[in-house]
Amino acid sequence: MSQPGVPPVQFRVIDLIRKKRDGLALTAAEIGYLVAGCTDGSIPDYQMAAWLMAVVLRGMTREETAALTHAMLNSGEVLDLSLLPARKVDKHSTGGVGDKTSLVLAPLVAAGGLFVPMISGRGLGHTGGTLDKLESIPGFRVGLPVPEFERVLSVCGCCMIGQTEKIAPADRRLYALRDVTGTVESPYLICASIMSKKLAEGTDALVLDVKTGSGAFMKKEEDAVFLAELMVETGERMGKQMVALITDMNQPLGHMVGNALEVQECIEVLHGSGPEDLRELCLDLAAWMFFLGGASKTVSQGKQRAEEIIASGKAFERFRQMVELQGGDIRVIDDPARLPSTGHTVDVPSPQAGYVTGILCEQVGTACVILGGGRERKEDSVDPAVGIVVHKKIGGKVAAGEPLCTIHCHSDAQATRAKTLLQDSYQIAAAPPAHKKSIIHRAIYKGEH
Ligand code: URA
């Protein structure tokens, strides 16, 4: 126990790695030491990565998860937004392929009178990241300092930034390391990563979109429920209103996968069109945000409100305003054809006629990373223009030779590996699949809605 004026207990990092490797629980002080050393850079990446891998393989107790979340939250500032004149509400996804709802939700919910202080992440593993998508808009700044974040938030009701040196800096470092070391798939690390950012941003309520299926980090629904309950419990303990929706990620959401392509699809949804599954999920998540934020009496009234705001054009206008305030080029928002594009495409033809009965969705995400839409090393920069347009989804009928999807790339040679991955990810059979599951499997919420 450290006394005032007495230096904190020192540990040997190698002992903490070995302790976790051997399946033992670390104390809060030990976890705090690792997080502090990661944040100030005194613990090298290779030691942090070894410890992260040990956590993935050995897991954590509830106490360790709480200690990790607490230490990561307190690695930076915890914003106090209590002076804002309405409730603050946010949403966060555990990560998926073509999972782009944040870009629709922040302006939509802000246009409905609530504040959305959103701290998001970059691409993680095979999944895309909100910040990389936003940065495909020329000039858009995701690294605003806190006073500017607060200013944009107070002017337009929403602001979307990343972890900074001031807010959730431990997650900033750990997130980038997990992305490239195969250490994402741990419910404990995901819980601490998400909740440390979300608790730091000063929101009152949080809607969690917990993905399950072949394109999610939690492939099995029971694992997604475990993660959802862990995060809901963590948020509630900190006095936040919480709900978690368990949603389907067995195929890409919408049709576009890739940074600029996904921005284009979000603009379609903000204009009242766009693919049905994406639009429906946005409306359902917005419904819960309105409900938890006290802007609607029930979730179904919240959904109606969301539909009206999109139809009125106010959600699109709010997005445009946010982009402008964050330095982005609004000519691109008015004319998405100006978004970065490769100017070259390669079709992925179906090897046979039939119906799509399944998609190995993680492979679709990996194909996008391989094209340059994500990172394989920390220092990689992402290519905003590359990506995949998914034409055929589960249940779709396809003729032999008809494109299943189209790769946006810079040359045929660049598309070779992605094309094979995509072709292999499709399962096609003579008969259609038995039934189509709905996007939302269930809501984890204690109370009437
Ligand atoms: N989103 C995050 O912010 N962190 C994770 O670990 C996974 C998804």
Three-class SS string for the chain? CCCCCCCCCCCCHHHHHHHHHCCCCCCHHHHHHHHHHHHCCCCCHHHHHHHHHHHHHHCCCHHHHHHHHHHHHCCCCCCCCCCCCCCEEEEEECCCCCCCCHHHHHHHHHHCCCEEEEEECCCECCECCHHHHHCCCCCCCCCCCHHHHHHHHHHHCEEEEECCCCCCHHHHHHHHHHHCCCCCCCHHHHHHHHHHHHHHCCCCEEEEEEEECCCCCCCCHHHHHHHHHHHHHHHHHCCCEEEEEEEECCCCCCCEECHHHHHHHHHHHHCCCCCHHHHHHHHHHHHHHHHHCCCCCCHHHHHHHHHHHHHHCHHHHHHHHHHHHCCCCHHHHHCHHHCCCCCCEEEEECCCCEEEEEECHHHHHHHHHHHHHCCCCCCCCCCCCCEEEECCCCCCEECCCCEEEEEECCCHHHHHHHHHHHHHHEEEECCCCCCCCCCEEEEECCCCC
* Ligand 1 centroid from CA 408, angstroms: 26
Task: For ligand 1, say whether the CB of 187 is within 6 Å of any of its atoms.
Answer: no
Q: Name the percent of the chain lying above pLDDT 70.
A: 98
Task: Give, for ligand 1, the residue of 175, 189, 195 to mutate: max count of ligand atoms closer than 8 Å to Cβ.
Answer: 175
* Ligand 1 centroid from CA 171, angstroms: 9
Q: Is 144 left (phi over 0), alpha (psi -120 to 50) or beta?
A: beta
State yes or no: pLDDT of 4 exceeds 70: no
Domain 13-59 CATH superfamily: Transferase, Pyrimidine Nucleoside Phosphorylase; Chain C (1.20.970.10)
Count CB-CB contacts under 10 A for residue 337. Answer: 7
Residue nearest to atom 6 of ligand 1 (CA): 190
The tens digit of pLDDT for each residue in 259-313 reads 999 999 999 999 999 999 999 999 999 999 999 999 999 999 999 999 999 999 9
For 389, how many CA atoms within 13 A lie in the half-sphere containing its CB?
A: 18
State yes or no: pLDDT of 231 exceeds 80: yes
- Residues 243 and 445 sit within 8 Å (Cβ to Cβ): yes
Query: For 82-86, 208-212, 299-303, which range has the lowest pLDDT when averaged over its residues?
Result: 82-86
Supply the pLDDT for residue 438: 79
Per-residue confidence band for 447, with pLDDT thresholds at 50, 70 and 90? confident
* Ligand 1 centroid from CA 384, angstroms: 21
Q: How far, in Å, CA of 445 to CA of 449, rounded?
A: 9
Structural domain 345-429, CATH architecture: Alpha-Beta Complex (3.90)
Task: For ligand 1, say whether the CB of 94 is within 6 Å of any of its atoms.
Answer: yes
Query: For 8-12, 43-47, 201-205, 272-276, which range has the lowest pLDDT when averaged over its residues?
Result: 8-12
> In the chain, where are the structural domains located?
13-59, 89-336, 345-429
The tens digit of pLDDT for each residue in 369-402 reads 999 999 999 999 999 999 999 999 999 999 999 9
> For residue 42, what are the contacts with CB-CB under 8 A and spacing of at least 6?
none
Q: If you average pLDDT over every residue of the chain, what do you get?
A: 96
Per-residue confidence band for 6, with pLDDT thresholds at 50, 70 and 90? low
User: φ and ψ at 29, to 5 degrees?
Assistant: -65, -40
Query: For 82-86, 254-258, 355-359, which range has the lowest pLDDT when averaged over its residues?
Result: 82-86
The tens digit of pLDDT for each residue in 235-249 reads 999 999 999 999 999
Using CA atoms of 321, 138, 383, 385 in order, give the dihedral in degrees to the nearest 10: 80
Task: For ligand 1, say whether the CB of 275 is within 6 Å of any of its atoms.
Answer: no
Distances (CA, A) of 400 to 392, 393, 428: 13, 15, 10
Supply the pLDDT for residue 1: 45
The tens digit of pLDDT for each residue in 312-328 reads 999 999 999 999 999 99
Domain 89-336, classified CATH 3.40.1030.10, yes or no: yes
Provide the b/e sequence for 256-269 (b: ≥16 CB within 10 Å): bbbbbbbbbbbbbb
Structure tokens at 177: 């390391």
Task: For ligand 1, say whether the CB of 321 is within 6 Å of any of its atoms.
Answer: no
Using CA atoms of 74, 130, 314, 278 in order, give the dihedral in degrees to the nearest 10: -120
Q: How far, in Å, CA of 287 to CA of 301, rounded?
A: 7
Strands 387-390 and 89-93: unpaired
Task: For ligand 1, say whether the CB of 121 is within 6 Å of any of its atoms.
Answer: yes
State yes or no: pLDDT of 7 exceeds 80: no
Which residues are the active-site residues? 92, 171, 178, 193, 197
Supply the pLDDT for residue 440: 84
Query: For 74-78, 145-149, 356-360, 431-435, which range has the lowest pLDDT when averaged over its residues?
Result: 431-435
Q: pTM score, two decimals?
A: 0.96
Per-residue confidence band for 10, with pLDDT thresholds at 50, 70 and 90? confident
Supply the pLDDT for residue 91: 98
Count CB-CB contacts under 10 A for residue 197. Answer: 27
Class of residue 307 by CB neighbours under 10 A (exposed 0-12, middle 13-18, buried 19+): middle
- Residues 228 and 264 sit within 8 Å (Cβ to Cβ): no
* Ligand 1 centroid from CA 226, angstroms: 15
In the chain, DSSP finds a helix count (H) and a strand count (E) of: 17, 13
Q: Which atom of ligand 1 is least distant from the CA of 217?
A: 7
